[in-house]
Amino acid sequence: MYDELKVPPRILLGPGPTIANPRVLKAMTTPMLGYLDADFVDIMDDTVALLRQVFGTQNSLTFPVSGTGTSGMETALINVIEPGDHVIVGINGYFGGRIAEIAERCGGVVTPVHGDWGDIIEPDQIAEACNKVSPKLVAVVHGETSTGILQPLEKIIEIAHQNDALFLADCVTTLGGQPVSLDARGIDIAYSCTQKCLAGPPGLSPISFSDRAVEVIRNRKTKIQSFYMDVTLLEEYWMGDTRKYHHTLSMTLVYALREALRIVVEEGEETRYERHEHNARALIAGAEAIGLEPAASENHRLPMLTTLRIPNGVDDATVRKRLIQDYNIEIGGGLGIFAGKAWRIGLMGDAANEQYVLLVLNAIEKLLGEVGHSVEPGTAVRAAAAVYQNS
């Protein structure tokens, strides 16, 4: 016999998933409908309309792909890249590396443009790469969750378009927490996820293609390798007057996404972005006050994910384990070259709030004290509270 499913009330302050909004969880208990039921199609249409709003786009081909953020990444690349196509990928963290890996699996000839972990990709580097190869696609990560960098996009987009290339932005971490503004910026392809700043469960990956990108896909010489991710087929299910079955969509996840997007729009996008920035400022003030230095360069920090260098002599795993055991708080460990060297604290969606900022700072301060990094009790919380008081 197995017990009834019960999980501890974790406070998820890592790189995602974040805490799902209770309204989203409630929407997930809505009964199933058939995948072509007219009422479900209406719900799909609502979801697409809301997604266009939050993506900041009029792009017709905008919908959620089944699967997590990586399925959006794979869908984006597999539809656009044909064997032999040149692809320039900015790699200044773990997820840029994943884009390059998938682009290569699609038969693309990848020119990596490396940046330091914790810093941005400079537009000049992209321009230089464009002078060497003639790219079909230039791809960068908007919010690099492994390093805590918010990549400026405008100049790189300009360079990509001057070179007649499509521009792709990985918005897995940014959608719902910072403006992605696809149309205003001229982003041709973007994908995201549901479990971070949209405060939903993992399982869908919102994606959007500009008309230019759609034209490139329609003019392919070779067939898209994947049936499941072929957007020309998925389009016939998600758009238009006569819908065609493609695969059995998870109604539950669509209900969840629709509710999550409704919440974003209700709060107001600008208010939500400012809330993420404000709480990140307070977190960093508290962290710095107890000697935890941000690992991302100062002018380019990602509000929803803060990387903090672990002080010498402090064991990463011990502190994170105690955070869970004693406080029910999950934060993230470092990825790649930051493994064991940095913590990743996510303030995503609902979790970007004063209560959790003060709680996690207090908990980390106490645990650091126990492993020999004592500061005057209350230092971190006082510094963070000052940010809230002065706003």
Ligand X SMILES: Cc1ncc(COP(=O)(O)O)c(C=O)c1O
Closest distance of CB 34 from ligand X, Å: 27
The site string for ligand X over 82-111 (x = CB under 6 A, - otherwise) reads -------------x----------------
Closest CA to 206 of 52, 80, 347, 34: 52
Burial track 75-93 (b if 16+ CB lie within 10 A, e otherwise): bbbbbbbbeebbbbbbbbb
Closest distance of CB 365 from ligand X, Å: 27
Closest distance of CB 206 from ligand X, Å: 11
Residue nearest to ligand X (CB): 69
Interaction between residue 140 and ligand X (CB under 6 A): no
Closest distance of CB 15 from ligand X, Å: 5
C-beta closer to ligand X: residue 68 or 163:
68
Closest CA to 322 of 352, 348, 360: 360
216-224 contacts at long range (C-beta below 8 A, 24 or more positions apart) = 216/80, 216/136, 216/166, 217/79, 217/80, 220/82, 221/82, 222/82, 222/83, 224/78, 224/79
Choose which of 87, 168, 172, 251 interacts with ligand X (CB under 6 A).
172
Q: Distance between CA 339 and CA 310 in Å, rounded?
A: 10
Interaction between residue 209 and ligand X (CB under 6 A): no
Interaction between residue 173 and ligand X (CB under 6 A): yes
Interaction between residue 181 and ligand X (CB under 6 A): no
Interaction between residue 141 and ligand X (CB under 6 A): yes
Q: Count of residues for the chain?
A: 391
Q: Are 250 and 33 in contact (CB under 8 A)?
A: no
Strand partners, 190: 169, 208
- 269: amino acid identity, one letter: E
- Selected range binding ligand X among 45-53, 100-108, 169-177, 344-352, rule: CB under 6 A: 169-177
Site for ligand X in 35-74 (CB under 6 A): 68-70, 73
Q: Are 373 and 314 in contact (CB under 8 A)?
A: yes
C-beta closer to ligand X: residue 130 or 190:
190
Interaction between residue 15 and ligand X (CB under 6 A): yes
Closest distance of CB 319 from ligand X, Å: 21
Q: In the complex, which residues of this chain contact ligand X (CB under 6 A)?
A: 15-16, 68-70, 73, 95, 141, 143, 145, 170, 172-173, 193, 202
